[in-house]
Every structure is written in structure tokens, then in C-alpha cells.
């Protein structure tokens, strides 16, 4: 992976960064990081924002533009959108609903099978993140100091389909809740389709007597 691609990847997975932060993460000089960022800006892939601080000069943070996010592809987007339209035309909304429900049930069964050996909430969250990462979601499990776990998905490989038909991701929260088990509660804290940079889920262990 080239240095420029590493910069794009870091902005995708970590969100807005200063040149100094990127330099620290990628073992570059601040000047080297700025050159990469300015190159990305010239290509329309990266943009900056100056954020005023209480003391000193404003801090300049860099983030991906829509074109930058598009460098991380929505797998088979055109084909998927075409198939959605064809199913709607041939079988109506009811037929599309049956297709989506069948996909949800198959996904849930697969996840449940792969998580069956995990005995803790943190272990199940980590295993689910690994599954989702393999599916292209750039997912990671982040244990928090308060005992909760944050499941973060930095990319949505079916975003075009989900935007075209919102039911594709309507029950993701419920699927995660069921496969992670009754000893935790799951809430969505960020949603790409609502304008967030990522999708994120807060997993709260429940202490039962």
C-alpha cells in the first residue's frame, strides 16, 4: 500500500486528523504528511477545515471528501441496484420484502453459528467485528473503560443498495442484538445513512443476578 493510500485509509478509519496526527500514525514528518494531504486535496479526495482553538492559531483538520470515500468501493453497486429494481418490477414491494427477510435470516444464522463458542460479551463483539471486517465493513471492536464495547464499521460495502432500499439495513440492530445475546444491550450511536462518517454500535453488558 502506498503512503498516499495509507493516508486515505487512516482518514477513512479514524476520521478527521491533523497533519501531525497523521505523521505520528504513519511515521512521517509533519511536512511529509502535509504534502500527502495537499496532493489529496488537489485530486479532490481530501478537504480541510480550520477549527478555532481557545489559544493560538486554529487547528487544521483533514478529512475525506465524497470522492475520497468513493475510493473504498460499494461492492457490485450497479448490479445490486439493477437487481433491486428488477425484483420490485417483477414481484412488487412484497416480493422485495421476502428477499430482504430471507437475507436477514441467513445472515443471522451464519453469525450465530460463528459466535457460538464465545462465552463473553467482549469475545462475541470481537468475533462479530472480525466477521463484518471480512465482509468489507472495515469493522473493529473497541472495549471501553466503562466496560462497554463499541462496534465500529468504518465502511459500508452495500451503501448504495441500503440507500436505494432502506430496509436492507433496517434490522441490523436487531440482528446484532440477537446474535450478541441476552446478556447485553445494543444501541446504534452513528449511522452512515443518517450522514455520519461511520456506523457504530454501543454494546452494554447486563449484570444479572
Residues 49 and 145 occupy one common structural domain: no
- Name the domain boundary from 49, 69, 89: 69
Cα radius of gyration rounded to whole Å, the chain: 20
Same domain, 102 and 57: no
**Same-domain pairing of 85 and 142:** yes
**Torsion angles phi and psi, residue 139, rounded to 5:** -90, 150
- Per-residue pLDDT reduced to its tens digit, 104-120: 888 899 999 999 999 99
Please indicate, yes or no, whether residues 107 and 149 belong to a single structural domain of this protein: yes
Q: Are 186 and 110 within one domain? A: yes
N-terminal to C-terminal alpha carbon distance within the chain = 50
Domain that holds residue 103: 77-205
- Tell me the C-alpha distance between 66 and 49, whole Å: 15
Amino acid 64: pLDDT: 84
Domain final position from 24, 39, 69: 69
DSSP string, 19-77: HHHHHHHHT--HHHHHHHHHHHHHTTSEEEEEE--SSSSPEEEEEE-HHHHTTS--TTH
CA distance 31 to 19: 8
Same domain for 64 and 105, yes or no, is no
Tell me the three cell numbers of residue 74: 460499494
Average pLDDT, the chain: 85
User: What confidence tens digit (pLDDT) does each residue in 70-88 have?
Assistant: 777 665 556 566 777 787 8
**24-28, 65-69, 127-131, 138-142: which range is least confident on average?**
65-69
The answer on 190 and 99 residing in a single domain is yes
| Measured distance CA(5)–CA(199) in Å, rounded | 22
Tell me which DSSP letter residue 192 carries.
Answer: G
What pLDDT is attached to residue 200? 95
168 and 116: one domain? yes
The residue behind cell 449511522 is 191
Same domain, 64 and 159: no
d(CA 130, CA 34): 32
**Which of the two residues, 208 and 151, has the higher pLDDT score?**
151
Which CATH number goes with the domain that contains 27?
1.10.10.10
Task: Please say whether the beta carbons of 50 and 175 come within 8 A.
Answer: no
41 and 123 belong to one structural domain: no
Give the Cβ contact number of residue 139 at 10 Å: 22
Q: What is the pLDDT of residue 142?
A: 95
Global confidence as pTM: 0.68
Q: Are 144 and 132 in contact (CB under 8 A)?
A: no
Query: Within 13 Å and on the Cβ side, how many CA atoms surround 152?
Result: 15
Q: In the predicted model, is pLDDT for residue 207 greater than 90? A: no
- The pLDDT assigned to 209 comes to 38
Q: Kindly state whether residues 58 and 110 are assigned to the same domain.
A: no
| pLDDT value of residue 9 | 85
**Total structural domains within the chain:** 2
CA dist 21 and 34 (Å) reads: 11
Question: Rounded to an integer, what distance in angstroms lies between the CA atom of residue 130 and that of residue 191?
Answer: 19
103 plus 186 within the same structural domain: yes
Amino acid at each position: 500500500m502506498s503512503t498516499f493510500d495509507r493516508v486515505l485509509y487512516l482518514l477513512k478509519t479514524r476520521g478527521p486528523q491533523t497533519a501531525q496526527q497523521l505523521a505520528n500514525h504513519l511515521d512521517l514528518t509533519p511536512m511529509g504528511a502535509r504534502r500527502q494531504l495537499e496532493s489529496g486535496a488537489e485530486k479532490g479526495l481530501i478537504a480541510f477545515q480550520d477549527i478555532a482553538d481557545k489559544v493560538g492559531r486554529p487547528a487544521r483538520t483533514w478529512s475525506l471528501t465524497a470522492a475520497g470515500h468513493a475510493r473504498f468501493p460499494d461492492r457490485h453497486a450497479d448490479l445490486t441496484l439493477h437487481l433491486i429494481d428488477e425484483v420490485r418490477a417483477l414481484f412488487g414491494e412484497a416480493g422485495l420484502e421476502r428477499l430482504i427477510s430471507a437475507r436477514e435470516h441467513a445472515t443471522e444464522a451464519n453469525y450465530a453459528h460463528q459466535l457460538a463458542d464465545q462465552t463473553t460479551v467482549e469475545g462475541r463483539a470481537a468475533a462479530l467485528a472480525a466477521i463484518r471486517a471480512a465482509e468489507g465493513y472495515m469493522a473493529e471492536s473497541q472495549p471501553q473503560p466503562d466496560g462497554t464495547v463499541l462496534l465500529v464499521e468504518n465502511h459500508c460495502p452495500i451503501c448504495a443498495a441500503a440507500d436505494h432500499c432502506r430496509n436492507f439495513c433496517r434490522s441490523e440492530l436487531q440482528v446484532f442484538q440477537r446474535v450478541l445475546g441476552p446478556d447485553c444491550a445494543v444501541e446504534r450511536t452513528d449511522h452512515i445513512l443518517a450522514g455520519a462518517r461511520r456506523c457504530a454500535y454501543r454494546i452494554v453488558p447486563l449484570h444479572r443476578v
